[in-house]
Amino acid sequence: MPIQQFTYIRKQLDKLMKDVFEGAVNPASLPVDLYEATLMTLSSGVARGFGKGNLTNEMSDLLGHFDHNVGVFSAAKTHQQVADMTRALIDPETGLKRSFSSFKSHAGEIFDQYNTNWLRTEYRTAFNQGLGARQWHEMQKGKEDLPVLRYETSGDERVRKEHVSLDNIVRHIDDPFWRQWFPPNGWNCRCDVTQHELGDVEFTNDDVLAGLDAPSKLFNGNPALDKVIFDPTHPYMSRVAERYKVQQAHNFHMPVPPKPKPVKTVKKVVAKALGESVRVTDADDQPTRAEYA
């Protein structure tokens, strides 16, 4: 899957390296342009996975939570990348500051690791989590007629061992199993879930579930229910050095999209005439039309 949106040109990279070398950019003072390039890339992955179309208020709220989560993740990723570049200023063999040319070589390797190798996997994860969240909402719409879900792997030699044991597990859509195991369930996970009528497939026994290995810590959830793309225990976020915790609490002062506020239900009281019964309805009963591009 190509990373289509990451745009950080050579001129920006040269300035980043110069600023880190001179101390203008450091783990407490991050480059906004690198953060924004990362955020745009990962947000585009979520949007591509979630897709366009009519969105209910609930789905629009979910996407707002995803935007915030990806922003927090991108800020922490930028911090960790700059922290690694800052450490590369010192030659561990001599304990002295490297020359700019030597530092530039090491910093370039760090940049490529973060923004080629790791970002590609993160983009796929953003896509898959967005896809899974949309799939969950669509399945909820049809659960009255199709209340049963079946877990399915890709069925080839690339399926990881822990996912083989999940293949063909069948549970009711409201079963807690899907709170923990709805795919994706790992980096580059290709697993899927199919929806069925009651009686079409046989339910999996509880003892089979009891024998499953614990899920990956970073994928132990359901994106639509947890409202996150990247788990807060990801090393970018959970391994920030203690001296930078204050900056982290403010997302390193990056322009992170705000977390949506809880939706307050507005009640409408409708009475046809004095003395008739009163009907109370939610203002948010009807879906709204929107596109997420």
Q: For residue range 189-242, what is the model confidence (pLDDT) as tens digits? A: 999 999 999 999 999 999 999 989 888 889 999 999 999 999 999 999 999 999
Q: Is 293 a domain residue?
A: no
Instruction: Indicate the average pLDDT of the chain.
Output: 89
pLDDT at 53 over 50: yes
> Given this model, what pLDDT does residue 4 score?
57
Q: How far apart are CA 115 and CA 35, in angstroms?
A: 11
Would you say residue 67 lies in a domain? yes
Task: Identify whether 5 is part of a domain.
Answer: no
DSSP-derived 3-state class of residue 282: strand
Residue 216 within a domain = yes
Query: What's the rounded Cα separation, in Å, for the pair 124 and 229?
Result: 11
Instruction: Read off the pLDDT band of 288 (50, 70, 90).
Output: very low
Strand 170-172 relative to strand 148-152, pairing: antiparallel
Look up residue 149 and give its DSSP letter.
E
Distances (CA, A) of 250 to 76, 93, 171, 253, 258: 11, 36, 41, 6, 11
Q: What is the domain count for the chain? A: 1
Checking if the pLDDT of 293 tops 50, the result is no
Per the CB < 8 A criterion, the answer to whether 169 and 153 are in contact is no
pTM given for the model: 0.86
Output the six-digit token pair for 106: 């090491």
> What is the arithmetic mean of pLDDT over 97-108?
98
Tell me if 237 sits within 8 A of 73, measured CB to CB. yes
Asked whether residue 149 is assigned to any structural domain, the reply reads yes
In angstroms, the CA 18 to CA 21 distance is 5
Range of the domain at 103: 10-257
Of the pLDDT bands very low, low, confident and very high (cuts 50, 70, 90), residue 94 is very high
Residue 271 included in any domain: no
Please check whether residue 227 lies inside any domain of the structure: yes
Total Cβ atoms within 10 A of residue 76:
25
The CA-based angle 29-31-34, given to 5 degrees, is 145
Cα distance between residue 196 and residue 274, in whole Å: 48
pLDDT for position 272: 41
Helix H or strand E segment including 195: strand 192-196
Distance CA 69, CA 82 (A): 20
Give the DSSP H or E segment for 172: strand 170-172
Looking at the domain assignment, is residue 26 inside a domain?
Answer: yes
